[in-house]
Structure 1
Amino acid sequence: MENQPNTRSMIFTLYGDYIRHYGNVIWIGSLIRFLQEFGHNEQSVRAAVSRMSKQGWIQSEKKGNKSYYSLTDQGRKRMAEAAQRIYKLEAPSWDEKWRLLIYSIPEEKRSLRDELRKELVWSGFGLLANSCWITPNPLEEQVETLIEKYEISPYVHFFCADYRGMGEPKTLIEKCWDLDEINEKYLAFIQKYSQKYVIDKNKIEKGEMSDGACFVERTLLVHEYRKFLFIDPGLPQELLPEKWLGDSAAHLFADYYRTLAEPARRFFESVFAEGNSLVKKDKEYNFLDHPFMSESQS
């Protein structure tokens, strides 16, 4: 398969969009079967699962002679946070406050410092000055989680403040994020997927696209779109440029997702049912309660 996605990243996508709604548990055999749809072999899946387990994202459990894997508490929190950002259609409003995180981590903990930087970027913080990170979003809960996870409370200061600088708030945005570059990536996404959306919608309406093909396309769509979590800080509407394409990309993603969702779900459940008889779908989860699906029903 061309430009084959990373195995570990694909597993994260499957947990986020499917598995966490089906008891949060999956038999390794089913996981291997799903990943085969994207060109990944058994060895690469088992290696990725092992790595994710060591990193604390998933955990294993034996049931008879079968191995099952589920998200840890850390994994569940990350998936919930990611889903909240992926499935939003509009930029949030701003409370006109800035959150500042300043740290001074000892040199002997350099690797921890590097990990913290990656986490802050993923959460939507921008680097204002050396070891000083800012965000206009209410990320207090995420900060508390990071401090607890890395045990760095002695080295961190966190503030919620007003900006009383000499420029406009947007000058801080320009210093911390390259919105033009992010906008270009949204444009590339729109150009690629607007055409694919029309083609696939037409195929589905004519019954020319299998459930398995819809599963592959929906998963790859989510996988591609969630890359924006690593580059787009999710800024409030008031701080975005006039010709911001993030909202347009979000609506295209939602429309395409809705078109693929039902047949993709059927394929997932048919494969999932084969090896997960001991796993029960979450009682609280209803497919039609998905933010995209409920909108389509109105």
Structure 2
Amino acid sequence: MTTGSGEAGFADGESYAKAAQPRQFIVTLYGLFSRDHGGWLSVASVVGLLGLLDIDEAAVRSSISRLKRRDVLLAQRRDGAAGYALSPGGLAILDEGDHRIFRRKRATPADGWLLAVFSVPESERHKRHLLRSQLSRLGFGTAAPGVWIAPAHLHEPTADILRSQDLHGYADLFRADHLAFGDLAGKVRRWWDLDQLEGLYSAFLTEHGPSLRRWRDLPARDASAPGGPAVDERAAFADYVRLLTDWRRLPYLDPGLPEELLPPEWIGIRAADLFFSLQDRLEGPARAFGERTVSG
């Protein structure tokens, strides 16, 4: 999912520093539930589920309209019910986001780097802005003017995005190793805004740490299995949707940077531990509750 980018990419940069917006919760719902239903959800089910998060119907409908205008959602009626389906582009972005958001493994220095080098004529400066926006959305740092850098594992999604945006004619992608000179960890701190990231991770821990304390005794993964403990699935749904919506923005700012090059006891490791611990406990009951609502 994903989360993580331009607004059509579901992780608009303006939202990183403030509370998630209704449209981001809508995208979370589509990522969780729509793909088992042909990419479609009814308006009624989206309104009902987001009402549990205290998001009013007017805000939901307004945000759906914005996603429709951006060609992320397509209006469709099914069995007489009004609803929206993911556009092909929206589906592709969610699929790419799954790999990013649920990837726990970090890169290592030995994996190497991906360099994006681009040159855009002044007469097409709008393309330059779009290219920079897309690279930033993907999690690239800026090594030098016109030279952007990311962990090497991002080469496929980067190539796919540049092709889909018709930007591949302006850029070259290279696999690279850092051979010399200087302190690579210090350079990483300059290429990425680690101070901003630290603040965002800290806010994430503060917001969702209490959820882990509430759900600590809930067994991982099998919480909704027959014969398992009684679970408040509605509460699990609300906590999981909030958790996932807040988390999916972060892996696009921290694209799996090598732990060896990050500050000691990097807070992002603790934030990831929190996210995956809660995911293990909440995903099962949250999906069970949401699926009943969507299917009913």
Instruction: Give TM class, smaller chain.
Output: 0.7 to 0.9
2:136 to 121, 127, 132: 121
Q: What value does the CA root-mean-square deviation take over the aligned residues? A: 2.9
**Does 2:272 align with 1:255?**
no
Q: In 1, are the aligned partners of 2:33 and 2:291 still within 8 Å (CA)?
A: no
* Pairwise CA distance, 1:108: 4.9
Q: How does 1:61-210 map to 2 (within 5 A)?
A: 61-201=76-216, 210=232
- 1:15 alignment partner in structure 2: 30
Distance 2:269 2:118 in 1: 33
Among 195, 212, 218, the alignment partner of 2:240 is 218
From 261, 267, 271, the counterpart of 2:293: 271
Residue 94 of structure 1 and its aligned partner are, at CA, apart by: 4.2
Residues 138 and 5 of structure 1: CA distance in aligned 2, closer, same or farther (over 3 Å): closer
Structure 1 distance, partners of 2:141, 2:218, is 42
Distance 1:142 1:261 in 2: 26
Q: Is the CA contact 1:90–1:247 (under 8 Å) kept in the aligned structure 2? A: no
Which runs of no fewer than 5 residues in structure 1 stay unpaired? 275-298
Structure 2 runs not aligned, ≥5 long: 1-17, 224-228
**How far did residue 272 of structure 1 move?**
0.8
State the distance in 2 between where 1:90 and 1:58 align: 31
**CA shift for structure 1 position 185:** 3.0
32 and 76 in structure 1: CA distance in 2 versus 1, 3 angstrom threshold: same
Instruction: Give, in whole Å, the separation in 2 of the partners of 1:273 and 1:246.
Output: 37
- Following superposition, the deviation at residue 140 of structure 1 comes to 2.1
2:65 is aligned, of 46, 50, 53, to 50
Q: Distance in 2 between matches of 1:6 and 1:108?
A: 35
- Give me the TM-score of the superposition, normalised by structure 2: 0.79
The answer to whether 1:242 aligns with 2:264 is: yes
CA distance in 1, matches of 2:109, 2:75: 41
Q: Displaced runs of 4+ in structure 1, greater than 6 A?
A: none
Q: Among the aligned pairs, what percent are the same residue?
A: 28
CA contact (8 A) 1:86 1:226 kept: yes
My pick for the range that moved more, 153-162 or 7-16, is: 153-162
Amino acid at match of 1:196: S
Contact kept? 1:91, 1:247, Cα under 8 Å:
no
How far apart in 2 are the matches of 1:234 and 1:119?
Answer: 17
Distance 1:26 1:147 in 2: 29
* More displaced stretch, 177-186 vs 105-114: 105-114
Residue 180 of structure 1 and its aligned partner are, at CA, apart by 4.0
Which residue identity lines up with residue 29 of structure 2 in the other structure?
Answer: L
Q: CA deviation at 1:107?
A: 4.2
Secondary structure at the aligned position of 1:158 is classed as: strand
Alignment partners' CA distance in 2, 1:130 and 1:92: 24
The answer on whether the counterparts of 2:151 and 2:256 sit within 8 Å (CA) in structure 1 is no
Query: SS of the residue aligned with 1:100?
Result: strand
TM-score, normalised to structure 1's length? Answer: 0.79
Q: Is the 8 A contact 1:190 1:252 kept in 2?
A: yes
Deviation at 1:173, TM superposition (A): 0.9
Cα distance in 2 between the residues matched to 1:244 and 1:83: 23
Q: Tell me if the contact between 2:111 and 2:152 (Cα under 8 Å) persists in the aligned partners.
A: no
Partner SS, residue 18 of structure 1: helix
The alpha-carbon deviation at position 201 of structure 1 amounts to: 4.0
Greater shift in the superposed pair: 150-159 or 103-112: 103-112
Q: Do the aligned partners of 2:152 and 2:175 also contact (CA within 8 Å) in 1?
A: no
The alpha-carbon deviation at position 203 of structure 1 amounts to: 8.8
- Distance in 2 (CA, whole Å) between partners of 1:94 and 1:20 is 36
CA distance in 1, matches of 2:78, 2:33: 21
Asked whether the 8 Å contact 1:124–1:234 carries over to 2, the reply is no
Task: Count matched residues.
Answer: 272
Report the CA distance between 1:141 and its aligned residue.
1.6
